[in-house]
Amino acid sequence: MLQRLIHNAKVNVFESARFYYWLLWLLVVYSILREFIQKFTFVYYTNPFIFPREIIGVLFFVFAFCSIISAWVHRKKIENKFYIFWGSILVLSIFNELRYMFIAEDYSIIESLKTSQLYYVAKILFPFLFFGFWPIIDKNKSYTQKFIQVLEGLFLVNAGLLVFGGLIGCLSIMESYPLSGRWGYCGLFLDRITTQLVYGLLLLYNWSPKKPFYWKNLVFIICLLISGQKAGFLWLGLFILFVVIRSGVLRTAIIVFSAAIFGLIPYYINALVSLSPFWEKVYLQHGVFGWVFSLRNKLLWSVYESEKENTTITEVLFGGISRYPTRIEFLPLDLFIYFGVIGLVIFTWFLSNWVSTWKWSIPLIIACFAGGVLGSFLMLLFFGLFIIRNKKLYHFCLD
């Protein structure tokens, strides 16, 4: 009886692409409902409704537990680079956690797991645990393809809502930054950063030189442009640079021209910020760098000022300079303060081998200036599934 139960669990859960497909959708649907309800109550009611963290905590625990078992079941088939990455980051994290445990007077491992450093590490490691065995159980990528197709359908609906309800109807519920006075529309489904990521991924996924003006591509480009985020323009700039343009000479010319335009910002920024009262206020209060980096430069300086006197060579090498949720929102710098130089090198090595093309590196490049991707459990899952679906090359190239 017990053996039969174990066998059924192995076949129908831990080796089943169908089970994980529906588990992924459970996570996505819950996140969509949570975002919609919280945004709706924030816009139309005095007290916004905040979902208990325990709900997503339970869903994450189920995902993590099943991923551990599945990774063990398929341990002989998983690529070695995943083991090197998991093991290295786990050892660094445990080392830093033990160090912090002995110096912090109010240390709590429960709090660390719920809201602090171990929580951040889990958000990164468990999706990559899933990415290690998912291509093995979804052998012909049918469930990955199906997931992306349904996701695309949902976000095309969201595109219609944000264009007609937001851009044309000016509904606050469609805004990227509701009731803030800042222009931009992201629709209803997920937070503005995740929504932007999905539209960017769908643009990369659907693009074909044979159909440059395919209507879906135009829809995704419009959604990036009206998101109200500078990262949306960066998405399109990198998309044109790495995907649309094929000439190396032209790429170089555009990079040089863009650098010149960026360097001349002080000479035309007054005219640019005058187009938006919100950004004009940011510029007047925080200067050019505050406007360009959306105050992330302030976060960087704040972390530097608070940690510069206490930072040791051990922390520089192995991490622990700061702890989550303190963050700079520049991906390399966040990885550095959490995992040190060694951790940053490990992440760079693994991601450059796993992603393999400049085209699909665009989300990571954007994260170097605007955070995201690795800091969000759901964004990392989306990104990884697109990578797995399109993974054909195993060396770092331009196409």
397: pLDDT strictly greater than 90: no
To the nearest 10 degrees (0 to 180), the angle between helices 230-239 and 362-370 is 150
Question: How far does CA 270 lie from the centroid of its chain?
Answer: 32
pLDDT of res. 2: 59
pLDDT band at 25 (very low <50, low <70, confident <90, very high): very high
pLDDT of res. 114: 87
9: pLDDT strictly greater than 70: no
Cα–Cα distance measured from residue 171 to residue 65, given in angstroms and rounded to the nearest whole number: 41
pLDDT of res. 48: 83
- Tell me the average pLDDT across 156-177: 90
pLDDT of res. 20: 96
Q: Identify residue 332 by its one-letter amino acid code.
A: P
Closest by CA position to 294, among listed 184, 204, 197, 189? 184
Give the percent of the chain with pLDDT over 90: 59
Cα–Cα distance measured from residue 48 to residue 108, given in angstroms and rounded to the nearest whole number: 29
pLDDT of res. 8: 64
- pLDDT tens-digit readout, 46-92: 788 888 888 988 999 999 999 999 999 999 999 999 999 999 999 99
- pLDDT tens-digit readout, 291-304: 888 888 888 888 88
- pLDDT tens-digit readout, 106-131: 889 999 988 899 999 999 999 999 99
- Tell me the average pLDDT across 342-349: 96
**Paired strand residues for 330:** none
Question: How far does CA 212 lie from the centroid of its chain?
Answer: 26
pLDDT of res. 180: 86
Q: Are 185 and 164 in contact (CB under 8 A)?
A: no
Find tokens 């599934």 and name the residue: 385
DSSP 169: T
156: pLDDT strictly greater than 80: yes
Q: Secondary structure of the chain: what % helix, strand, coil (to 5)?
A: 75, 0, 25
393: pLDDT strictly greater than 70: no
Q: Are 187 and 161 in contact (CB under 8 A)?
A: yes
- Tell me the average pLDDT across 361-382: 90
